[in-house]
Structure 1
Amino acid sequence: MQTITPVILCGGSGTRLWPLSRKGYPKQFARILGDESLLQGCAKRLSGQGAGLSFAAPVVLTNADFRFMVAEQMLEAGVEPGAVLIEPEARNTAPAVLAAALHVAASDPDALMLVAPSDHVIPDTGAFHAAIAAGAEAAASGQMVTFGITPTHPETGYGYLELGEAPDGSGRAVALRRFVEKPDADVARDMLEAGNFLWNAGIFLFAARDVIAAFEAHAPELMAPVRDAVKKARPDLGFLRLDPEAWAKAESISIDFAVMERAGNLSVVPYAHHWSDLGSWAAVSQEAGSDENGVCLSGPATAIDCENTLLRSESEGLEVVGLGLSNTMVVATPDAVLVADMSRTQDVGQVVKTLRAKGVSQADSFARDHRPWGYFETLALSERFQVKRIVVKPGAALSLQSHVHRAEHWIVVSGTARVTIGDEVKLVSENESVYVPLGAVHRMENPGKVPMALIEVQTGSYLGEDDIIRYEDVYARENDG
């Protein structure tokens, strides 16, 4: 049985599905199509055994902001990662893959690595395992394998792979002639008719030693900084933090540009089954399914006399209603609403750029802010006060901290909080409250077995999240709540 080590890339910023997916909580963590996130679906798909394969514990690459989300969601999915490598800053996929390869090669240079984005939809796990098995045969002989999706229409939102020959339907790996950048509509139609072009899925399979050799041959400038970043990496609460000083010296470049487009030992495994990168709201609409009029509804949404329309609400208290709409998408979250023509779903990233230029916080941040201990959401904000709802997971604790500019009043609405203020520690139950004076050293914990929720009223001259002096933190953070 062939062992495969999955390498899951989990650091994307997720602008194409705004406002549901944002920099602070990108799409791989969201439950877009069901009860599990895209990351959880990926982790489950690349675990266990199938098609003569045995999957080792995955290596996950993410950034510091997402490390606790990764750990929590992997735990919920029942998949224990072999390592979670923390990238100090985003440097694109080439440094990330090289770091993973160096980490894997330290224990087994011949290990076969399957590099996969964390945010794809591949419903037929058996067929995908069979494709991996076909690729493993080629990778074991020294080939660098990529996976190509049989196109179903002339898509302009994907890059393409030109094959040396048309697929024969056997699923075997075939030679790759070249990579093709995202085409215009006419070129995409011509490639579809030619029969030897596949969509580039951005999934790769190779031996650790072979991809390292490819970097040495085609992107040698990345070797020293990434090798140093891995060599000087330090353990941190079960994660492995790559060295930030060395990592900063690595060029930000994709693995396609750095290595794959330059290597000569390339093969492609054609994949003719269903696949989506959920790269647009149109793709989400297709995956979620629609009625006979092409109407796709999600959450509290109502369509009246609509056609080819997506209506989605992410808030139980917000009903989205469409009347007489055609070719329209409406996505509503508690703090932002996107209304667009369905033909412009590939341009949603431009919305984020425009909002960033205007300084609009919703471009990147949610009203709900996820933290390792739970989350908080702002209910009201004015010049000298802020009201938040805070939910703390069972057994979790916020840091021991104080504030220079604000005082806080906590009212527990469900569960029980263990509250520390100065030298006093006490339990605060439902319908009870406590006052935290400005400058007081304090902490809240949830000692119970159910989530604890409270309402926090902040008052003061400055209410920013960076007004914090941290004395002790079980999550080893420096400047967040």
Structure 2
Amino acid sequence: MEKNLYGIILAGGRGERFWPRSKKVRPKQLLPVISKQTMLEETFSRLNNFIPKEKIFVVGTEILKEPIDSLGIFEKSNLMYEPFGKNTALAIGFAAIKLRSIDKDSVMLVCPADHSIFPDKDFQKTIQIGIEYALKGNLVTFGITPTRPDEGYGYIELGESLLDEQVYKIKSFKEKPNVKRAISYLKKGNTLWNSGIFLWKTETLLEGIEKYLPDMYRELLEYEKHIGKSDERDNILKLYEKSPATSIDFGVMEQAENIVIVRAQFNWDDVGDWNALERIKNKDKEGNIVEGEVVTLNSKNSIIISDSGLVTVIGVSDLIVVRTENETLVCKKNETGEIKNLLKILEKDEKYKKYL
């Protein structure tokens, strides 16, 4: 693997659609959703198979400092905390400018902290293909072959094939579609899901930010002057206060011309909401997924989880029931997109904020 390869884990998301387990101070990526490890630990282990520990960085918000620090898996100097979240372009730019100060020839592999990816050997194989194109000065993203007409993902329309239906130029980025449009994408067979995993030379990415997000680049250069100095933390705050908020896709990728996409050879799920458990967990004979003290009767195709006490259900189907120590969620499986709206309602009432 490339000797100048560094892993950058984005760990600042809130995981709102996994409420009530996922909270502001301990969101989804800091929970053991798939195994006994937290998702952040799993992501670290996946990268550590081919990237040394001292070259793996994590970017998270300040509110998550205590739980991330307590994992004890990252080098202390590789923990990068944002004063507040301001979308992915700034989080990645923050990591890039720091990395440039360490290794001007660095190559960045950017991964969200909360994805399910297996097997590891196929992940590494896919990344190795991407490195060849990143070293040529391309911004590389990784696409997933769609398995269903999912409304929750962005899609990428493929252009010219560069390598045996494995690597392509990108024709266009598609916003999250409705079901009808997603079905048409699947029928055409010329789109991949946007995985949110990226690979590029640090300098290539910073050139893209300079060209397409000049205001952000100017603030990054100002922050760069203070890296390693006593006032670095104060200048991180200034960087975040003054920089625009935008995603790396919208801010850079969708405008750049030196972009390619590598078709993933690994299994992938973004574990976006409770329904994802149906794709990564075993079901009982009635099609239910149960965790904790749960008893079901005449119930099917449901997700029933208890972290505290006994939960019983009778005659339900296609339902999500999640009980934690202080909160209970009951939701139709096709209504998980409304969890964010529910949290907005709770946020407005002072007496409910403690449950967020």
Give the alignment's TM-score, normalised by structure 2. Answer: 0.93
Alignment RMSD (CA, Å): 2.1
Q: 1:308 aligns with which of 293, 301, 305?
A: 301
State yes or no: 1:217 paired with 2:208. no
Task: Report the residue type matching 1:24 in the other structure.
Answer: V
Aligned residues: 354
State yes or no: 1:18 paired with 2:19. yes
Deviations 1:331-359 (A, max 9, x none): 00111100011111222211111211233
State yes or no: 1:319 paired with 2:310. yes
Indicate the SS of the match to 1:2: coil
Which structure has greater helix proportion? 2
The equivalent residue for 1:358 is: 349
Q: 1:363 to 1:124 in 2, by over 3 A?
A: farther
Task: Report the residue type matching 1:122 in the other structure.
Answer: I
Structure 2 gap segments, 5+ residues each: none
Deviations 1:356-402 (A, max 9, x none): 1233435754xxxxxxxxxxxxxxxxxxxxxxxxxxxxxxxxxxxxx
Shift of 1:129: 0.6
State yes or no: 1:346 paired with 2:355. no
Indicate the SS of the match to 1:113: strand
Alignment check: 8 A CA contact 1:294 1:307 kept: yes
> Residues of 2 paired with 1:46 and 1:139: CA distance?
18
State yes or no: 1:2 paired with 2:9. no
The equivalent residue for 1:150 is: 145
Counterparts in 2 of 1:388-399, with a 5 A limit?
none
> Residues of 2 paired with 1:171 and 1:13: CA distance?
35
Deviations 1:124-145 (A, max 9, x none): 1111111100100100111100
Alignment check: 8 A CA contact 1:293 1:307 kept: yes
The equivalent residue for 2:130 is: 135
Counterparts in 2 of 1:37-116, with a 5 A limit?
37-49=38-50, 57-73=55-71, 75=72, 78-80=73-75, 83-116=78-111
Rg larger for: 1
Alignment check: 8 A CA contact 2:54 2:75 kept: no
> Residues of 2 paired with 1:285 and 1:44: CA distance?
24
Shift of 1:288: 1.6
> Residues of 2 paired with 1:241 and 1:203: CA distance?
30
State yes or no: 1:188 paired with 2:179. no
Shift of 1:213: 0.5
**Larger relative CO (CA 8 A, sep 6+): 1 or 2?**
2
Alignment check: 8 A CA contact 2:53 2:75 kept: no
> Residues of 2 paired with 1:363 and 1:266: CA distance?
44
Q: 1:353 to 1:235 in 2, by over 3 A?
A: farther
The equivalent residue for 2:239 is: 246
Deviations 1:431-481 (A, max 9, x none): xxxxxxxxxxxxxxxxxxxxxxxxxxxxxxxxxxxxxxxxxxxxxxxxxxx
> Residues of 2 paired with 1:198 and 1:63: CA distance?
30
Shift of 1:171: 6.6
Identity of aligned residues (%): 31
The equivalent residue for 1:473 is: none
Alignment check: 8 A CA contact 1:336 1:362 kept: no
Task: Report the residue type matching 2:80 in the other structure.
Answer: L
> Residues of 2 paired with 1:181 and 1:282: CA distance?
21
Give the alignment's TM-score, normalised by structure 1. Answer: 0.70
> Residues of 1 paired with 2:224 and 2:81: CA distance?
10
Indicate the SS of the match to 2:59: strand
> Residues of 2 paired with 1:321 and 1:167: CA distance?
55
Q: 1:351 to 1:167 in 2, by over 3 A?
A: farther
Shift of 1:217: 0.9
Shift of 1:31: 1.1
The equivalent residue for 2:268 is: 275
Shift of 1:230: 4.1
Worse-superposed segment, 84-93 or 333-342: 84-93
Deviations 1:97-116 (A, max 9, x none): 11111111123222110011
Task: Report the residue type matching 1:313 in the other structure.
Answer: S
Task: Report the residue type matching 2:322 in the other structure.
Answer: V
Indicate the SS of the match to 1:106: helix
> Residues of 2 paired with 1:92 and 1:107: CA distance?
24
Alignment check: 8 A CA contact 1:161 1:178 kept: yes
Q: 1:360 to 1:286 in 2, by over 3 A?
A: farther
Q: 1:82 to 1:2 in 2, by over 3 A?
A: farther
Alignment check: 8 A CA contact 1:28 1:39 kept: yes
Worse-superposed segment, 105-114 or 119-128: 105-114
